[in-house]
């Protein structure tokens, strides 16, 4: 599943190619992709003739704000956090890529993939295609002046953004107190921190020297401070690399992310640690895999 760096990469690409472009129409090829409204006609009517004022990211969600082409009343040039926004005055669009979703900016002459689910048409015969092999991805049409989180209800459950002031050492310390679940499981909880998944949780824990099975309540103040700093840095590094492509992730131009080639532990079970040469191990925690170096992340107990 695309995580924060991949979704951020897509967001930035979409702002480059589609911002201020007017949507001229669309086509829905798989109806169950629509989470709201469920009517294909209502979905297409909601965006036809609207321009893209800008794209935002909240956790793993992508959100497009619309504006009227003759009177754009939205400006995201300062790139505010989406959490600062409650409504879109001209409506908008939300997308969750789930496991295999891709948003690709292509020519309308490009042959359709059999996994194409939704098409949005733009000037100069360009289009934005939502391609999704496993069909778990969803799209929401957001009506004007309606609270966004009432339409995209998953937004209500998200914790703070990793780059926000709210995501502080003090916040993590409070959240970890008395928690007996593993730190790896905690980092995957979107209520704790938005956007982090398997890849960057593994990478963060390696760079922090913390075994993934460590209970949250056992973390020392120094470990929590290190964890906070490393998580922010890992995500920034991955964004700079254009994200990670393990199976399906592509940016809007159809290009793979480059972070996987420099990953410390993720998806490297059996391979030598890049620091100490000890083979990387893999285990299951709450049904999810965790990759770690048994030497670099050795418990102090």
Report the alpha-carbon distance of residue 161 to residue 239 in Å, rounded. Answer: 14
Catalytic annotation present for 143: no
| 228 annotated as belonging to a binding site for a ligand | no
3 is known as an active-site residue: yes
Catalytic residue among 2, 5, 160, 162: 2
Distance set, CA 280 to CA 29, 260, 269, 286, 296 (Å): 43, 15, 5, 20, 10
Count of alpha carbons within 13 Å of 201, Cβ hemisphere only? 25
**Is the link from the previous residue into 203 a cis peptide, with omega within 30 of 0?**
no
- Does 157 qualify as catalytic in the annotation? no
Is 134 annotated in a binding site? The answer is: yes
Q: Is 60 a catalytic residue?
A: yes
Q: Is 291 annotated as a binding residue?
A: no
Choosing from 50, 57, 58, 60, which is the catalytic residue?
Answer: 60
Give the strand pairing for 126-132 and 51-58: unpaired
User: Of the candidates 68, 85, 74, 81, which has an alpha carbon nearest to the alpha carbon of residue 8?
Assistant: 81
Q: Exactly one of 215, 274, 282, 288 is catalytic; which is it?
A: 288
Nearby residues of 45 by Cβ (< 8 Å), 6 or more positions away: none
Options 3, 6, 161, 203, the catalytic residue:
3
For 24-93, give the DSSP string. -EEEES-GGGEEE-S-HHHHHHHHTT-EEEEEEEETTEEEEEEEBTTB-----TT---GGG----TT-EE
Binding-site sequence positions for DNA = 115, 134, 179
Which residue numbers are catalytic? 2-3, 60, 288
Binding-site sequence positions = 115, 134, 179
């Amino acid at each position: 599943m695309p995580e924060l760096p991949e979704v951020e990469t897509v967001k930035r690409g979409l702002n480059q190619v589609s911002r201020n472009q007017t949507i001229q129409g669309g086509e829905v090829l798989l109806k169950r992709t629509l989470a709201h409204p469920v009517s294909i006609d209502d979905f297409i009517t909601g965006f036809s003739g609207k321009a893209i004022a800008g794209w935002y990211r909240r956790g793993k969600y992508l959100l497009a704000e619309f504006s009227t082409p003759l009177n754009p009343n939205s400006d995201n040039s300062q790139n505010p956090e989406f959490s600062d926004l409650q409504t879109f005055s001209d409506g908008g669009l939300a997308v969750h890529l789930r496991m295999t979703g891709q948003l690709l900016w292509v020519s309308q002459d490009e042959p359709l993939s059999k996994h194409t689910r939704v098409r949005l048409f733009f000037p100069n015969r360009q289009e934005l295609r939502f391609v999704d092999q496993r069909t778990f991805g969803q799209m929401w049409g957001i009506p004007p002046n309606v609270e966004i989180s009432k339409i995209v209800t998953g937004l209500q459950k998200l914790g703070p953004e990793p780059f926000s002031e709210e995501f502080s050492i003090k916040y993590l310390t409070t959240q970890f107190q008395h928690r007996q679940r593993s730190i790896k499981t905690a980092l995957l909880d979107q209520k704790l921190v938005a956007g982090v998944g398997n890849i960057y949780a593994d990478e963060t824990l390696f760079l922090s020297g913390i075994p993934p099975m460590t209970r949250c309540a056992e973390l020392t103040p120094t470990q929590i401070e290190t964890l906070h700093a490393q998580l922010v840095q890992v995500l920034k590094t991955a964004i700079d690399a254009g994200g990670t492509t393990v199976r399906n992730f592509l940016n809007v131009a159809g290009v793979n992310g480059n972070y996987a080639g420099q990953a410390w532990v993720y998806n490297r079970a059996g391979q030598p640690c890049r620091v100490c040469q000890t083979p990387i191990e893999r285990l299951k925690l709450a049904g999810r895999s965790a990759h770690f170096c048994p030497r670099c992340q050795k418990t102090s107990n």
